[in-house]
Structure 1
């Protein structure tokens, strides 16, 4: 059993990561922004709370430099930290202030707090993103194979162009800052980063309404609600992974010594919005407002993933973390079923 601090406990990825940690018998404290969020999680994990396997720490604003100073202190002391929290903003008016600063401060801040106040911590796993790997200027970059060796080359000037650029840069700058911290400060702990692309999968975290859903799953919901009936929107990066595999990756990176000081490109494969709609139609005949086979849009650039599109290498995540990736159909079906449970 490992004593673990899990940040961002009410989030989409963190909720699944909490399930895996508890299933593996670890003792967990998870951070939330408010006591109300803690109370909602408690309702789902009453037995774990009662036997002392799960507790909570309130961290209202992770963008404050000393936000985690108290949260990293525990009795018994923490041995590992899984940092999934990222700054939460409803709207972006200033890319530097709303996206870049909080992402970098949120990541370096927790590393500083661990070094200062939690000397027993030996592993830190950080949720990064494919956004820190992709080179946006290359488009679909046919022939290139993305792997952990790739870094998004965006500059601060690129980042300030708009919110999408700002988001990609925030993930890149935050991850780079983490690796630089370890290199310069030489703390007692190692770090590993988990870099997923689009993350789909069932919702297990408390949601006030379906409108508050994570961004990637909103796409599936929009399809089910009939918003793609006349035209299917473009698919974006065409890379995806199931949230349950991302959760397994975080816990495996903590449990396996050989995962220390490595990045992990956690990716199941290709997808298109068109395929997503076809899967929903096949498995849920009750939804009548889905696109037909002749509805335009949502396909691969050249109709299939093996033409006109970059490739991927997920070998490290399979060899080191032992991941067995779920299929796109399984992920979409389980996601829609979770919507139905939430009262779609």
Structure 2
């Protein structure tokens, strides 16, 4: 059993990481932004005592020293998993873009600084990065992406649009983490996981579908739509099931071979059109809401595939086995259909 600090435990991905860590026998303390969110987590895991699961409040991850007390535990931490980082495309003004990037970068470097200064027992740190930190839109869509790829986005480009701001936030945050390890030479190792679109069941507390995580928004749109609603263009043709991504965090923590490595974690190509087709096939009650005919073709994946990828490292080193798209789609719909 490893004593693990998990950041952002009330989020979509981190909630699954928490489940996977507990299922593998690890002891977890998760950071949350309020006591209410922390209590919700404890209430949904009543089978675990405080020795196995607890929470600590970190209201603002971007504040200097935000994690200094969180990384200290009566039973010292041996590992940390950092999932707390903003994922949205709402930053439009220069001030909003600056806030988005600062939160991502300072949150990531902040926990590394806190561990180095106050938690010498931590030997492994896993950070949730993104395929956004790899993709280069100056290359052909079919470029085969691997762990050596980095998004070349500049600070100037980051302020051109909300999507660019998000890409920059993930890129700058991950680069800052690797730069920290290189310059500070801490006693812990670093591993980054770089997933593309993340789909799958929603298990964290959700007040309404208006606050659903960004990647699953397209499911809500499809389930509430009509045949006349065009299928949205896919843009990023790579995906991973959130349950597989959660397991990847645990495997990265447990396997020595994963130390100081980057991993592109993806099940492969997909399209929004395929999501609509699967929903229509599996759920007769929603079939008449799915885009059909030419509307469906707007989101179709070309026969040759786009967003080339090579996920062999995640399979060979971590031992990943990926769920197919159909299983991810069913997971999402089953978890949210009662809220429609």
Give me the TM-score of the superposition, normalised by structure 2. Answer: 0.95
Asked if the contact 2:28–2:53 (Cα under 8 Å) also holds between the matched residues in 1, the reply is yes
1:258 counterpart residue number: 257
Matched residue of 2:285: which SS? coil
Are 1:241 and 2:237 matched, yes or no? no
Q: What RMSD, in angstroms, separates the aligned Cα atoms of the two structures? A: 1.6
1:109 counterpart residue number: 110
Are 1:319 and 2:300 matched, yes or no? no
1:1-344 alignment runs, 5 A limit: 1-48=1-48, 50=49, 52-87=51-86, 91-92=90-91, 93=93, 94-138=95-139, 140-142=140-142, 144-226=143-225, 229-287=228-286, 288-300=288-300, 303-304=302-303, 306-307=304-305, 309-340=306-337, 342-344=338-340
Asked if the contact 1:222–1:228 (Cα under 8 Å) also holds between the matched residues in 2, the reply is no
User: Residue 298 of structure 1: CA displacement?
Assistant: 3.5
User: Residue 41 of structure 1: CA displacement?
Assistant: 1.2
Distance 1:159 1:51 in 2: 42
Distance 1:218 1:298 in 2: 18
Asked if the contact 1:79–1:121 (Cα under 8 Å) also holds between the matched residues in 2, the reply is yes
Distance 2:272 2:100 in 1: 28
Distance 2:89 2:31 in 1: 20
Give me the TM-score of the superposition, normalised by structure 1. Answer: 0.94
Aligned length: 337
Bigger shift: 309-318 or 226-235? 226-235
User: Residue 129 of structure 1: CA displacement?
Assistant: 0.2
User: Residue 228 of structure 1: CA displacement?
Assistant: 6.2
CA offset digits 1:122-145 (Å, max 9, x no partner): 00000000000000233x533x21
Structure 2: stretches of 5+ with no match in the other structure: none
